[in-house]
Amino acid sequence: MTSVLLDVLAEQPGGSRLKHAVDGAQLANVHLVGGSVRDMLRGGTPRELDVVVEGEIEPLLDALDGRLIRYERFGTAAVFLDNGRVDVTRARRERYEHPGALPQVEPATLAEDLLRRDFTVNAIALSLSDGALSAVPEAQADLAARRLRVLHPQSFCDDPTRLLRLGRYGARLGFSPDSQTAKLATEAVGNGALLTVSGARIGAELRLAFSEADPVGALAALAELGVLKALGFTGDVPERVLETALTLLPEDGDASVLLLAGLIDADADPAATALLLDRLQFSATVRERALAAISAGPSLAGALSSCRLASQLRALAAPLPIEAVALAGAQSTSTDGSGSDNRGAAQAERWLKQLRHVQLEIGGGDLIAAGVPEGPEVGRRLQATLDRRLDGELAAGREAELAAALEIS
């Protein structure tokens, strides 16, 4: 099995370069670790290449010879290669001065390093020199049983972000926590463990959940654990609505905006919501667009369903972020989940994928050159002309558009 894993590693982006560097420099203390090994043991493709070195990391960094970024706080480094990235850290033990604090670290053995990790299935290492596997007790049994188990009772208190990882990994891998881990997670959430962590760290974990292949499943898992409600979001994830909204969202949309908005009740206090998103350090752009989507809410959903003209649809949707339109379109489907009334979703799709791209061939300069005085009148005429184009009352083309704009009284 171990020789097979090394062959699998060589097929991954950056894997061949990593193995060549270890062999070329004759390094006997370098190990692939964590999710990389877990995923390969499951017959999957690792999402990242995480490496632990017993001893100084400099020889490996020199051998990899890629673009290097160092993270001095924990003595780690990321090496960017032509075809991949390798994250390198020295084997370490960790000590938490108080619950939720960033850990104090010091050099340690590989065995100690594995004991500091979040779940047993992530505490498996593969030696890159001889292919030997090292693991904490129960790790491989838990992997076979598709089980998530913390390594010690204080795990969620020391680092409450592991609660979010419990939900993310469970949804992504199809794993379930063992009974003791589930009990510890419930107790940690109930005792306010998440309040001991900085908003920046919680926000970073949420953004990772948003980037999962199945973000709605990840959020639903967090809701089931009580994590979302403890953070100040709604306790229930509208899974059907969010899944529909994501299918409506075009490529230039931001899924994180849509997902954030979908986690907040439309009746929530806007000021409190703004403070929550600010605490979690979402960018100003994401916050503003999410708040706009929340504010539009059910009223936009109903209005989309009642639109009859394309110009009416433009008047509703054009001032709003595209994420708001996608979410409202999904919210407008029948409340019983049957989807029998999907006019609102169809209207949202029509706007997002077709009508919002319709533009006039003329501009303000054309109207001014034709004698229209500068000022608001120019914009009013252009908008009215665009409405006629959208409603099929006007053929495309500069001459037809200009003539129509000049006719408007």
pLDDT digits (tens, 9 = 90+) for 9-63: 999 989 999 999 999 999 999 999 999 999 999 998 888 899 999 999 999 999 9
**Residue 12: which residues within 8 A CB-CB, separation 6 or more?**
45, 46, 49, 84
Domains and CATH numbers, the chain: 2-145 (3.30.460.10), 193-306+317-355 (no CATH), 364-407 (no CATH)
Q: Which residues pair with 70 in a beta bridge?
A: 77
**Could you read off the pLDDT of 327-374 as tens digits, one per residue?**
999 998 744 444 446 889 999 999 999 999 999 999 999 999 999 999
Helices (H), 76-160: 110-115, 139-144, 155-158
Using CA atoms, how far apart are residues 180 and 120, in angstroms rounded to an integer?
Answer: 13
pLDDT recorded at residue 126: 97
Find the range with the poorest average confidence among 165-174, 288-297, 332-341.
332-341
Residues 325 and 372: their CA atoms lie apart, in Å, by 34
